[in-house]
Amino acid sequence: MSSEQLASHGHTTAAQVRKDLSHFGSFGKRGLGYSIEELSVRLRAILGLDRVWQVVLVGAGRIGSALFEYPDFKMRGYDCVAIFDSDPEKIGVQWGTTTIHSSERLEAVIEQLDVDLVILAVPASVAQEIADRAVEAGVRGILNFAPVQIKVPDSIPVEDVNLVMQLEALSFKITRGGAGE
């Protein structure tokens, strides 16, 4: 496949495709284009997707349960190995084959199952405390749904999902006129 073809799939330009790939080494052959299979294998390795990531979900509320059923998770290599909640009525319940544990067991489970990532779907008021405990227990990254900025050591990446900020981004683009990207 040519860089032009790749670019049209990604809504970008052929020059950008070649430039982006060049950051990670040498891909494809001049005049012949790219082998899709080779490109796919190498990109998955670069993105760290050539392995399974152990994930725990903290917060078994509406957002947590919506996330848990998100069809792409497992397919893409993210295995949710435990769920935590502080509500006694939820503790011990199973979602599929995954058990909801008491939040008190967070550190023990993270260490025991060698968990990589934590998804925080808890109220803003407890997000920092849970994040601190998860980092202390050894998680390596956090996907944060709590509407609050959490502080962790620089070595721990955090991705925030902030729906209000995304709505505000839409409002801004509409107000300023024209969409852009």
Which residues form the interface with a copy of itself (CB under 8 A)?
11, 46-49, 53, 55, 61-63, 65-67, 69-73, 76, 78, 116-117, 140-143, 147, 149, 154-159, 161, 163-164, 166-176, 178-180
**CB-neighbour burial class of residue 178 (10 A; exposed 0-12, middle 13-18, buried 19+):** exposed
In the complex, the smallest distance separating the C-beta of residue 154 from a copy of itself, rounded to whole angstroms, is: 6
In the complex, the smallest distance separating the C-beta of residue 115 from a copy of itself, rounded to whole angstroms, is: 12
Two tokens, residue 40 = 């796919």
In the complex, the smallest distance separating the C-beta of residue 80 from a copy of itself, rounded to whole angstroms, is: 11
Confirm if 58 and 80 have CB atoms less than 8 A apart.
no
Q: By C-alpha distance, which of 152, 124, 123 is closest to 138?
A: 152
At 142, give phi and psi (nearest 5°).
-135, 130
Q: By C-alpha distance, which of 137, 132, 92, 101 is closest to 116?
A: 137
**Antiparallel, parallel or unpaired: β 141-144 and 158-160:** parallel
Two tokens, residue 167 = 């709505």
In the complex, the smallest distance separating the C-beta of residue 175 from a copy of itself, rounded to whole angstroms, is: 3
In the complex, the smallest distance separating the C-beta of residue 101 from a copy of itself, rounded to whole angstroms, is: 21
Confirm if 140 and 167 have CB atoms less than 8 A apart.
no
Query: Among residues 32 and 179, whose Cβ is nearest to a copy of itself?
Result: 179
Query: Among residues 46 and 105, whose Cβ is nearest to a copy of itself?
Result: 46
Query: Among residues 33 and 77, whose Cβ is nearest to a copy of itself?
Result: 77
Query: Among residues 88 and 178, whose Cβ is nearest to a copy of itself?
Result: 178
Query: Among residues 18 and 140, whose Cβ is nearest to a copy of itself?
Result: 140
Query: What sign results for the dihedral spanned by CA atoms 138, 143, 146, 149?
Result: positive
In the complex, the smallest distance separating the C-beta of residue 6 from a copy of itself, rounded to whole angstroms, is: 15
Query: Among residues 71 and 96, whose Cβ is nearest to a copy of itself?
Result: 71
Name the DSSP letter for residue 2: -
